[in-house]
Structure 1
Amino acid sequence: MKYLYSVIILLVTFSCSSKKEKLSIQQLKAGDIIFQDVDCGPFCEAINKVTSGVDGKNFSHCAIVASEGDSLFIIEAVGKGVVKTSFDAFFSKETGSGGTLVGRMKPTFSGLAPKASKNAFQYLGKSYDEVFDIENDKYYCSELIYETYKEANNNQEVFKLYPMTYKDPDTNEFFPIWVDYFKELDYKIPEGEAGLNPGGVSKSDYLDIYEINL
């Protein structure tokens, strides 16, 4: 379970759609946000039941493109913490029907992207946030994106926080997978606490969304 990608569940209502044009991996820029539909089993099934991303797609992971010299790579928060990942490793993951999309700051906000990318370096080595607490010094994938862009925007939110829910909308009861997960961690289910997930980030009005040729 500790290798679970960001699996925060919340309901968001932004309107945004993906562009028809596609980007190649070579066209990626520092600060681009990559969204992936990575299979995380029952956790993702629970997530998908209560939220979705842009164009109704499902995403369980997101990460930021960073640069160092002439090299581009990924900085992401995964089970082992916040790490640097090569493009080859990141884009070789098997994805579901949501596939992989790119979020790029709209021209009006493009100045935030390189700042956010640079900010991501300070989180390298930080622990993964298994309990999805926005206040602790640990980070899940979309929380990393939230913090890097907030700092780039003079500590003003770019991506919004919303109350999280871990309940099945059909029964209004907690999903059993979450009950077991938090019981194992000996932690109270953070129902209603502030958070965000990859799908919600993908709907942001700050972003243009592109398909990517892999």
Structure 2
Amino acid sequence: MKIRLLNKLLFFYCCTLSISCNHSYQKVGFQEGDLLFQNLNCGELCNAIEAVTEGIDGKDFSHIALVVNVNDTLKVIEAIGNNVQINSLETFFSRSGDTAKIENVTVGRLKKQYKNLIPKAIAEAKKIIGQPYDNIFLLNNGKMYCSEMIYEIFKESNKTKDFFVLEPMTFKDPKTKVFFPAWVNYYKHLNKEIPEGLLGINPGLISRSNKISILKIENYK
């Protein structure tokens, strides 16, 4: 009896502080505007990204995409590969080893009070299809990386005011405080300086936003 009472008090406390209750799981189907958080298996670079970017509930994310309706079919718009592009849900989930059942992707949805931003954000996303992928991870350089695309389209939808927050980027191992060798080699190959400390955004940071709810969706078919 005491344990049940304690659990209820903890639940109320969390809700009051808007911590865990912001991310309660719900069994629902996909909607246009949903955000898909993914753990890509791209080797050392993805591992380095995940080591310095904490996702909701301690999950690792290295990619994010936006669900859109195209001719009555749900697809995703994402910055991946060479550019911003539209792909099928099957293509997206296959990267995580998911078939019809979703096990390795986390789904986020804007809370009710922010849903009015979705149509404009989707329109903005469609405008930049084909824009080059930003492999340097810098803001405002005419290119887009995955979470930058989400940040920019919702900023435009929010009357050019930040909707998701930016934070200083780091490319250093949190344990040793030195740059990950993967990033050193990566930027050396690009002949660019590592943008340590510059403002940026990542999928993990977006997943922890108090403006979205995390959903339980079991399949996409």
Question: How far off is 1:211 after superposition?
Answer: 2.5
For 2:143 and 2:205, how far apart are their aligned partners in 1? 20
Task: Kindly provide the amino acid, as one letter, of the partner of residue 55 in structure 1.
Answer: D
- C-alpha distance in 2 between matches for 1:155 and 1:67: 24
The answer as to 2:139 corresponding to 1:134 is yes
Question: How far did residue 69 of structure 1 move?
Answer: 3.5
From 198, 201, 205, the counterpart of 2:206: 201
Q: TM-score, normalised by structure 1?
A: 0.86
Secondary structure in 1 matching 2:148: helix
2:196 maps to which of 188, 191, 213: 191
Q: What residue number does 1:175 align with? A: 180
Q: Determine which structure has greater relative contact order: mean sequence separation of CA pairs < 8 Å that are 6+ residues apart, divided by chain length.
A: 1
Number of equivalences: 197
Is residue 147 from structure 1 mapped to residue 149 from structure 2 by the alignment?
Answer: no
Structure 1: distance between partners of 2:186 and 2:84: 21
**Alignment deviations for residues 68-125 of structure 1 (CA, whole Å, 9 cap, x no partner):** 34222110000221011011211222259x8211111101111112221121101100
Contact 2:38 2:96 in 1 (8 A): no
Structure that is richer in helix per residue: 2
Decide whether the 8 Å contact of 1:36 with 1:95 is kept in 2.
no
41-50 vs 121-130, which moves further? 41-50
Bigger Rg over Cα: 2
**SS of 2:118 mapped into structure 1:** helix
Paired residues for 1:26-65 under 5 Å = 27-65=29-67
Q: Distance in 2 between matches of 1:59 and 1:86?
A: 20
Question: Does structure 2 retain, via aligned residues, the 8 Å contact 1:150–1:157?
Answer: yes
- TM-score normalised by structure 2 residue count: 0.84
Q: Is the 8 A contact 1:32 1:102 kept in 2?
A: yes
The 3 A distance-change label for structure 1 pair 192 and 32 is: same
Match of 1:110 among 115, 121, 135: 115
Q: Compared with structure 1, are the counterparts of its residues 15 and 188 closer, same or farther at alpha carbon in structure 2 (3 Å cutoff)?
A: farther
Letter in 2 for 1:128: Y
Greater displacement, 176-185 / 113-122: 113-122
| Contact 2:169–2:199 (CA under 8 A) maintained in structure 1 | yes
SS in structure 2 at match of 1:150 = helix
Pick one of 76, 81, 84 that aligns with 1:82: 84
| SS across alignment from 1:65 | strand
Work out the percentage of aligned pairs sharing the same amino acid.
44
Unaligned runs of 5+ in 2: 1-17
